[in-house]
Structure 1
């Protein structure tokens, strides 16, 4: 091989140095390197995975929040609907009560008017009869009050008409 041919001692020393370097690297340095790489991975990629987990948990929490909020909206709409129905029922009941009271007042007013009308008619008949007898007495020139009382002519007149 010429000038590149190593001596046997150099080869053995080189192999021993290589084995020693290989053992030191394999047993001491490579585990440290792997640990540092794992820590670096955990620091960078692990945080990313942790962030993704937190983000997934946040999405789940948000979905639960939206679900609860939607339920609350539905419950509020149901309560508003019930309140509107109750309000409509109360308005209808108040309207019916008002109409009933109005009808009662109208019936009482009609009854009062009927009684008043009858009383007024009786008073007017008496007054008309008295005035008619007085007028007839003036026309005839004599008082006819006793004649009208004895003959019941005024009552007969009203009974005929």
Structure 2
């Protein structure tokens, strides 16, 4: 077995030649081997997965941005179409209003024409009725005036004018005189 004093001596010999700040050459080699293994594992497995995750995130973000831009473009197109439809509807409404005004004006003109025609017809009927009634009243008055004038003449003259021919001649002469008096008064 190894004696502790021998071990102590060996330790003293090895430390005398070495700088305490620099590690031993075998520690450097084993550290480089371990670093190379870790670097190889990172290079082969970790970095590609990390890169894949980053690429997926970039694609997701870019895809989201593209979808947002597409949605924005679609919204702008919809807004433009809506504004065009609204402008078309306003123009159509203005056309309908103008057409309604024209129709209203035409209806009013037609109603005025109909009212004038109806008024003229009523006036013409009234005038015809008035003329017929006047004619009837004139003929009734002629008969009454004739009879009254004959009665008056009989009383005044004290002669009898009951003969029909004489009576008719007297009535006609009297009425003709009345017509002449009425015509002169009208002038």
Q: Give the TM-score category using the shorter length.
A: 0.7 to 0.9
Structure 1 segment 113-132 matched on structure 2, within 5 A: 113-132=130-149
Structure 1 segment 71-90 matched on structure 2, within 5 A: 71-90=88-107
Q: Which has the higher contact order (CA 8 A, sep 6+)?
A: 2
Question: 1: CA distance between counterparts of 2:153 and 2:97?
Answer: 80
Q: Which residue number in structure 1 is paired with residue 49 of structure 2?
A: 32
Question: 2: CA distance between counterparts of 1:159 and 1:63?
Answer: 89
After TM superposition, the score normalised by the length of structure 1 is 0.74
Please list every run of 5 or more consecutive structure 2 residues that lacks an aligned counterpart in the other structure. Answer: 1-17, 182-187
Out of 109, 127, 131, the residue aligned to residue 92 of structure 1 is 109
Q: CA deviation at 1:52?
A: 5.3
Please list every run of 5 or more consecutive structure 1 residues that lacks an aligned counterpart in the other structure. Answer: none
Q: CA deviation at 1:117?
A: 1.6
Q: Which residue number in structure 1 is paired with residue 7 of structure 2?
A: none
Q: Which residue number in structure 2 is paired with residue 109 of structure 1?
A: 126
Question: 1: CA distance between counterparts of 2:64 and 2:159?
Answer: 133
Bigger CA radius of gyration: 2
Q: CA deviation at 1:14?
A: 3.0
Quick one: structure 1 residues 92 and 137, their matched pair in 2 at CA, closer, same or farther if it must change by over 3 Å? same
Structure 1 segment 46-65 matched on structure 2, within 5 A: 46=62, 49=65, 50-51=67-68, 53-65=70-82
Q: Which residue number in structure 2 is paired with residue 157 of structure 1?
A: 177
After TM superposition, the score normalised by the length of structure 2 is 0.66
Question: 2: CA distance between counterparts of 1:149 and 1:81?
Answer: 73
Aligned length: 160
Question: 2: CA distance between counterparts of 1:64 and 1:95?
Answer: 46
Q: CA deviation at 1:19?
A: 3.2
